[in-house]
Amino acid sequence: MLATAETLAFDREHLWHPYTSMTEPTPVRLVTGASGARLTLTDPRLGYDDREVVDGMSSWWAAIHGYRHPVLDAALSRQAGEFSHVMFGGLTHAPAVELGQRLVSMTPEPLERVFLADSGSVSVEVAMKMVLQYQRGRGRPERTRMLTVRGGYHGDTAHPMSVTDPEGGMHAMWQGVLPTQVFGQVPPRIGAGPGYVEMWASHLVNEIAAHRSELAGIIVEPLLQGAGGMWAYDPECLVVLRDLADEHDLLLVFDEIATGFGRTGHLFVSELVTPDILCVGKALTGGYLTLAAVLTTDEVARGISASEAGVVMHGPTFMGNPLACAVASASIDLLVSSDWAADVGRIADRLTAGLEPLREAPGVADVRTIGAVGVVQLDHDVDVVAATDAAIEAGVWLRPFRDLVYAMPPYVISDDELDTLVAGIGAAVRAG
């Protein structure tokens, strides 16, 4: 095994990190362990060795049960003792079927056809292909564009980028490369009042009227816009979208890759309003392996089959990976057999009470909580290195972005760990 210094030196020279410069990289810390709601970090730069910190990020929404959960570890090794991967073309296996059963039964009734994809972005690619193929199957090949809203985030591959908020370089940089989609205004914030929802609805009616012959579907993150700014919007907006989709023969896609599996206090936001296509990912495997799923209705499946291809034109090498499916089923069983709603409520209450005083802190523009997600928005872009270092110093792992210091901890986080988390967020806010 390499010494810490060599490991970090090779990493710095050779490995890309998410949205990080290869030539001028910001520092990374070495993870030497992870257990429950804690990570163990080493960073010679700051002089700490195997420091235990409370994880505020759930590894980007995924590790809802924390790390090294004995039940998930066991599910993974059990499946590894059978077989780890086989192709899904022409073959099937119990882990995929058992996961499919769970997904069909835990999501709203009409969503009963399941496509297993290898990451969130790929699931959005598949969902958008389904929309286009459905319209072709219905004899409407000219319908090729998606309606979405500003402030959204749907992933990093091409089609998902095209429906992600075009601010932040995406639009200018990819002009002429990505398909151009139709962007409506950001939905009114939760609590904005019915007048705002009506105004927003009539704005969308105009957008649809202007593009009627070319629109194929609508895609949004329901209720909570995640990486686009961590804003919750009025759930009535989902009713508006459902009605507009029905009225104009558009398929409604909900991207619940971040919101799924209880994070907002709903098992799925799709319980409020049912979409035609649902994408889930991130917490699907409890953060153990990359896996996502696209669920749709029999009606959409039939439409796709009526398109000239007759099949969904997608089939990744690692489709339905048995290890990922086995751990996903175990994670779902853990979730539904726990009182997850109580945990999400407990985290929400403690984050709300703990973060509210920060509203008065210098540089703070807003404080908000939605489900087990706490957000402090600054009036400037966060100094990520300074804020992260300060959080670690206070015993917490955070990864701020843009003007946001935020946390969505594992559901297993204890009350004491939550207090540490709140202190760490405060430290990051003051330093950032």
Q: Nearest residue to ligand PLP, using CB? A: 120
**Window contacting ligand PLP (CB under 6 A); options: 64-72, 94-102, 153-161, 172-180:** 153-161
Cβ contacts of 332 within 8 Å, gap of 6 or more: 99, 102, 103, 106, 261, 284
- Please give the structure tokens belonging to residue 231: 């804003």
Of 67, 134, 153, 233, the catalytic one is 153
Strand 215-220 to strand 145-149: parallel, antiparallel, or no bridges (unpaired)?
parallel
Q: How far apart are CA 164 and CA 429, in angstroms?
A: 27
First-to-last alpha carbon distance for the chain, in angstroms, is: 35
Q: How far apart are CA 145 and CA 209, in angstroms?
A: 13
Is 233 part of the annotated catalytic residue set?
no
| 65 makes contact with ligand PLP (CB under 6 A) | no
CA 314 to chain centre: 22
Q: How far apart are CA 327 and CA 284, in angstroms?
A: 9
| 255 makes contact with ligand PLP (CB under 6 A) | yes
Q: How far is the CB of 19 from ligand PLP (least distance, A)?
A: 12
CB under 8 Å, gap of 24 or more: what pairs does 94-97 form? Answer: 95/320, 95/322, 95/323, 95/325, 95/326, 95/329, 96/320, 96/322, 96/325
Is 19 part of the annotated catalytic residue set?
yes
Tell me the residue type at 428. Answer: A
The reply, when asked if residue 399 is annotated as ligand binding, is: yes
Q: How far is the CB of 210 from ligand PLP (least distance, A)?
A: 26
**Phi–psi pair at 330, nearest 5 degrees:** -65, -40
Q: Which is nearer to ligand PLP, 119 or 420 (CB)?
A: 119
Which listed residue (65, 154, 263, 266) binds ligand PLP by CB under 6 A? 154
Is 129 part of the annotated catalytic residue set?
no
Of 118, 233, 282, 389, the catalytic one is 282
Q: How far apart are CA 370 and CA 351, in angstroms?
A: 10
| 119 makes contact with ligand PLP (CB under 6 A) | yes
| 222 makes contact with ligand PLP (CB under 6 A) | no
Q: How far is the CB of 47 from ligand PLP (least distance, A)?
A: 33
Q: How far is CA 281 from CA 5, 48, 297, 327, in A?
A: 34, 34, 18, 13
Of 255, 276, 343, 389, the catalytic one is 255
String marking each residue 14-53 x if it binds ligand PLP according to CB under 6 A? ----------------------------------------
- Please give the structure tokens belonging to residue 41: 């970090």
| 159 makes contact with ligand PLP (CB under 6 A) | no
Q: Which residues within the stretch 270-329 sit at the binding site for ligand PLP (CB under 6 A)?
A: 281-282
Q: How far is the CB of 154 from ligand PLP (least distance, A)?
A: 5
Count of CB atoms situated within 10 Å of the CB of 280 = 28
| 121 makes contact with ligand PLP (CB under 6 A) | yes
| 257 makes contact with ligand PLP (CB under 6 A) | yes
The reply, when asked if residue 120 is annotated as ligand binding, is: yes
Which listed residue (226, 229, 374, 424) binds ligand PLP by CB under 6 A? 226
Q: How far is the CB of 158 from ligand PLP (least distance, A)?
A: 12
Q: Which is nearer to ligand PLP, 58 or 297 (CB)?
A: 58
**Window contacting ligand PLP (CB under 6 A); options: 34-42, 120-128, 183-191, 307-315:** 120-128
| 124 makes contact with ligand PLP (CB under 6 A) | yes
Nearest to 279 by CA among 98, 61, 119, 162: 119
Write the DSSP assignment of 171-211 as a string of letters: HHHHTTTSPP-EEEPPPPBTTS-HHHHHHHHHHHHHHHHHH
What angle do the packed helices 340-355 and 415-431 form, to 10 degrees? 40
| 343 makes contact with ligand PLP (CB under 6 A) | no
Applying CB under 6 A, which residues contact ligand PLP? Answer: 119-121, 124, 153-155, 221, 226-227, 255, 257-258, 281-282
Q: Which residues are annotated as a binding site for substrate?
A: 60, 153, 282, 315, 399
Q: Which residues are annotated as a binding site?
A: 60, 120-121, 153, 255, 282, 315-317, 399
Q: Which residues are annotated as a binding site for pyridoxal 5'-phosphate?
A: 120-121, 255, 316-317
Which residues are marked as active site? 19, 153, 255, 282
